[in-house]
Amino acid sequence: MEVTVYGPLRGATGEKTVTVDFDGGTVGEALSALVDAYPRAERHLFENETLQSGVRVAVDGESVDADDDCPADASLSVHPAMRGG
């Protein structure tokens, strides 16, 4: 799966677009696969094993929720929660 990350997630992955092994499932499972491949991404996405409420994800350009389906060949875009004010 191709994953494009934004903001501080780039520091966790080292690149804007990365490839992650994912066999299909839910968006939440795809994000877990991203964290498995890039453990430093976890703090930007999850809190107590729950997706942070400010994280925005799109599958093939469409906004989705963590429980939505995500095919193995999809393109995922991940915008981490923004902090500060």
How do residues 39-62 score in pLDDT, each as one tens digit? 999 999 999 889 998 999 999 999
Amino acid residing at 72: A
CATH number, domain at 27?
3.10.20.30
For residue 62, being part of any structural domain is answered with yes
For residue 85, being part of any structural domain is answered with no
Characterize 45-54 residue by residue with b for buried, 16 or more Cβ atoms within 10 angstroms of its Cβ, and e for exposed.
bbeeeebeee
CA of 14: how far to CAs of 1, 63, 74, in Å?
17, 24, 21
For residue 43, being part of any structural domain is answered with yes
Amino acid residing at 76: L
For residue 84, being part of any structural domain is answered with no
CB-facing half-sphere around the CA of 13: CA atoms within 13 A: 25
Q: Say how many domains are in the chain.
A: 1
For residue 8, being part of any structural domain is answered with yes
Which range of residues forms the domain containing residue 50?
2-79
CA-wise closest residue to 76 among 14, 7, 22: 22
Can you give the pLDDT at residue 83? 61
- 38: confidence class by pLDDT, cuts 50, 70, 90: very high
For residue 38, being part of any structural domain is answered with yes
Asked whether the predicted pLDDT for residue 85 surpasses 90, the reply is no
